[in-house]
Structure 1
Amino acid sequence: MKHFPIFMAVEGRRIVLSGGGDAALAKLRLLLKTEARLTVVAQNAAPEIHAWAAEGVLTLIPRAMEPGDAMCARLFYAANEDEAEDARVASLAHADGALVNIVDNLGDSQFITPAIVDRDPVTVAIGTEGAAPVLARAIKKDLEEKLPPTLGLLARVGKAFRTRVEALPFGVKRRDFWSDYYFKAGPAVTGEAEAQTALEDLLGQHLAAPEKEGRVDLVGAGPGDPELLTLKARKALDTADVIIYDRLVAPEILELARREATLLSAGKEGFGPSVTQDAINEMIVSHARGGAYVVRLKSGDPTVFGRLDEEIEACEASGVAWRIIPGITSASAAVAILGQSLTKRGRNSGVRFITGHDTKGFADHDWRALAQPGEVAAIYMGKKSARFLQGRLLMHGADPATPVTVIENASRPTQQILSTTLAELEPALQNAGFDGPALTFLGLAPRAALAAAEDFEQKEAAS
């Protein structure tokens, strides 16, 4: 992000514009929406600018710009449609200490003016850093159609009512009140008096309402790609009061949480420092008991190696309502990346989801069954236990040439695929140097076309 978006206070402050033609008019139509003191410096100003000056909505200085004209100005626009003159007046404005925008000259401007959707006091600013003005206008048009014309009225009346709402406890109860106003009671009003009445009635209802009971959603965040979130998971992130997330949840997914939500890390790492499960259970229950809507966000699907039952039992023991919102488990995402299926007629009629380690260390399994030809297994948390898994399988008769594929950071931009054999698994994995979450497939290799593409990409990167 090369331009940081802010909303600048300009009420009563000077904004100066140099220019009197079409470019100047376009900027002034926007600037006239503000409560700034506007000054236009132009030797040949358009009739509209003269009319605005006569009405007293701006000050017109009918000459070329001179030193000091931009003194004490918050913002300055160079809109002369002449490269040399714009450079000259911009230099003068810089000397006067103003922030300078040169129309249609992104490189020499200190700030840019975004496309704006105006529902005063609700303002939506859309910027593309000059890369795609057409796209910004399309987004503006879409938002204009979606945001009701009464939104500004609702916001103005609501702002004046904020001190009254302090009668409600800070946090969830106030947020619920404003949510009901803006999205339920408010949109039906047609005028200021009706909006005021709606607020009074709504406040009375919320003050009389019994304490809200908290609840918990145990949500699958999927393998990492935000586009693989379910619609129900996305809605949960939009409305949660508290989000307790695992270490493997992608930062891009946490960005989808609403800004007012409390985000708490419950990081767990195999063979490393972790938040204990008891501590996680306590976090979930204590926030829910306080009336919060808690989202327990787990990477992949919460029902697959997510210690889900322990958290459900903690909720039930405390009388906290809960539900499960499933996610796409890593095995489903990773096998799709390989261009394979987990089951295939004539190859395997079943698939095993196993873990490389559990709370006691390396996990034991039915190695003899896994070692049979044609068996397919998706091994979670198998990276650090690769040597153990390899040894057990070979000891029980597995073919050393059995294909094995390890996928790191499946579905994320940083994903990597290692295609090897059971005999070479441990040294190949060591050489690959994977340091992210990885899933291992026993009995599956990438389709030939995908493997060839991967080799080509690696060669291109090396050269």
Structure 2
Amino acid sequence: MGVVAKPQNERIATLASLPVFFDLKGKPVLVAGGSDGAAWKAELLAATGAQVHVFCPDEQLSDTFRGMSSHLTHHDLHWDGAYFKSFALAIGDCESDEEARAFHDRAAAAGVPVNVIDKPEFCQFKFGSIVNRSPVVIGISTDGAAPILGQAIRRRIETLLPQSLKSWGQLAQMVRARVMENLTSVQRRNFWERFVDRAFAGNEPEADAVQRLLADADRIRSDVARPGRVTLVGAGPGDAELLTLKAVRALQAADVILFDDLVSNEVLELARREAKRMLVGKRGGRESCKQEDINATMLALAKAGKHVVRLKSGDPMVFGRAGEEIEFLEHAGIVVDVVPGITAASAMASRLGASLTHRDHAQTVRFVTGHSRQGHLPTNLDWRSLADARTTTIFYMGGRTADEIRCNLLTHGMNPETPAVVMSAVSRPNETQWTGFLVDLHTAIEAIGVDEPVLIGIGLVFSKRQQSNARQQGFEFPERVAR
């Protein structure tokens, strides 16, 4: 079975509004009103290089406005004396809805985009919170629903972006034309990836940075038939907030993304928009892409010079068949990098508030596959060792073999009332949990089902203390656990 293209209508989620950036340098804009709120908008517009014209009777002009006199043109009259068609934008500070409606209608009739401060029903566009590393400018909007949330997001972004990004943005403007003229699309991608690595190092550019960047571009251009590369990226259990920063950067740098069926849409939303996305779903008990087809696709794309991201649920090095893919690609001479992800067992432990190696209960943790290539339990598992309740054991993909797991552990001497937990769709909105005893494990699967990925945890770390924490969070328990 070959790879499956992701439907186009899933590439972009619904937008409340379209984020756009106006180039206002040298263009006239109209600001009506003399309040401090209008002064803030006027100052913001002046910072873009716009010619700001303020229409307000002199006696109504605030002290803030008077201190900005060198950056704007003041007209000592009401806004209705303005010729709206002369302006690129119109910003109004109107006291009543009647005045706001009149201002909006006048601007709209003249074909001028209009914003009435604090009256969203009369706004064709809105001002969001801004992170300024100009020429890098980030706008944040909550569509008027929660301005305080937008400000909090801005503060969070401010802490992530070094102040030196401003200088690197200016450098990008200086070398962009040369890069566009001399490098192919693949070479340009390579150049800008290196550029970004330097920009986010947090250091100001060196005095000879332009010469160094152009020399780097020349070196990239001289590379003949430069091969692509493959990055195996862990997408985590589903919650996009559990992605590592390195994983996000890999998604933003990809030319092609081959993703598993279990990767959430929220994670894919973080990928570069231009990247081609290909579903190579591998799901137990369902029709799946063959591993040989996936390997061949990665190789062909890498040989074509593409940066391929193989996006795997969880951690690629834990039951992700990464070893087979790495061996195949390296044998073909393709460079392979690995970005680890949060494996499902770690996410399960955090959701339950259970330490997998709690020193009072377990000094060892084991991750065990719940099925072999044939879809059954592996035949070489050491069940006597696994039956030790002081060892925490997590069975991956064990939904269909849960009853066999239960029987084997009981046969090899594990106490029937050893604590057990079962979780499906860990960290996702449809997450389901069951907590009880080993002897009842089969009933858990009957209740939870096997349509979503299932994890089974067994051991003393899932004892009543952890179960009590779970109960406080609203988890449901069988009667025998509560006794």
What TM-score does the superposition give when structure 1 sets the normalisation length?
0.78
User: 1:176/1:32 Cα in 2 relative to 1: closer, same or farther (>3 Å)?
Assistant: same
Show the counterpart of 2:7. none
Cα distance, 1:318 vs structure 2: 1.1
Show the counterpart of 1:17. 31
Matches within 5 A, 1:53-452: 62-66=76-80, 69-71=83-85, 75-80=89-94, 85-86=99-100, 88-94=102-108, 96=110, 98-106=112-120, 109-117=123-131, 121-127=135-141, 129=144, 130-132=147-149, 135=152, 138=155, 146-151=163-168, 153-161=170-178, 163-165=180-182, 168-171=183-186, 173-180=187-194, 188=205, 201-226=215-240, 228-230=242-244, 233=247, 236-237=250-251, 239-342=253-356, 350-365=364-379, 366=381, 369=384, 372=387, 374=389, 376-390=392-406, 400-412=416-428, 414-433=430-449, 435-443=451-459, 446-452=462-468
Cα distance, 1:300 vs structure 2: 2.4
User: 1:63/1:277 Cα in 2 relative to 1: closer, same or farther (>3 Å)?
Assistant: same
Aligned residues: 452
How far, CA to CA, are the matches of 2:135 and 2:362 in structure 1?
62
Contact 1:224 1:410 in 2 (8 A): yes
User: 1:408/1:346 Cα in 2 relative to 1: closer, same or farther (>3 Å)?
Assistant: same
How far, CA to CA, are the matches of 1:169 and 1:352 in structure 2?
48
User: 1:444/1:333 Cα in 2 relative to 1: closer, same or farther (>3 Å)?
Assistant: farther
User: Aligned Cα RMSD in Å?
Assistant: 4.3
User: 1:204/1:322 Cα in 2 relative to 1: closer, same or farther (>3 Å)?
Assistant: closer
Provide, for residues 63-94 of structure 1, a one-character-per-residue CA deviation record: whole Å limited to 9, x for no partner. 33339954586533112566764454345445
How far, CA to CA, are the matches of 1:159 and 1:371 in structure 2?
60
Provide, for residues 242-289 of structure 1, a one-character-per-residue CA deviation record: whole Å limited to 9, x for no partner. 433322234444444444544433211101021110011112222232
Cα distance, 1:113 vs structure 2: 1.4
Quote the sequence identity (%).
34
Contact 1:116 1:140 in 2 (8 A): no
Cα distance, 1:18 vs structure 2: 1.6
User: 1:371/1:315 Cα in 2 relative to 1: closer, same or farther (>3 Å)?
Assistant: closer
User: 1:199/1:92 Cα in 2 relative to 1: closer, same or farther (>3 Å)?
Assistant: same
Provide, for residues 231-250 of structure 1, a one-character-per-residue CA deviation record: whole Å limited to 9, x for no partner. 65455445444433322234
- Match of 2:148, SS? coil
Cα distance, 1:153 vs structure 2: 3.7
- Match of 1:150, SS? helix
Cα distance, 1:418 vs structure 2: 0.6
How far, CA to CA, are the matches of 1:450 and 1:71 in structure 2?
68
Cα distance, 1:112 vs structure 2: 1.9
How far, CA to CA, are the matches of 1:228 and 1:13 in structure 2?
44
How far, CA to CA, are the matches of 1:388 and 1:13 in structure 2?
74
Show the counterpart of 1:30. 44
User: 1:447/1:95 Cα in 2 relative to 1: closer, same or farther (>3 Å)?
Assistant: farther
What TM-score does the superposition give when structure 2 sets the normalisation length?
0.75
Q: Which has the higher contact order (CA 8 A, sep 6+)?
A: 2
2:259 aligned partner, one-letter code: Y
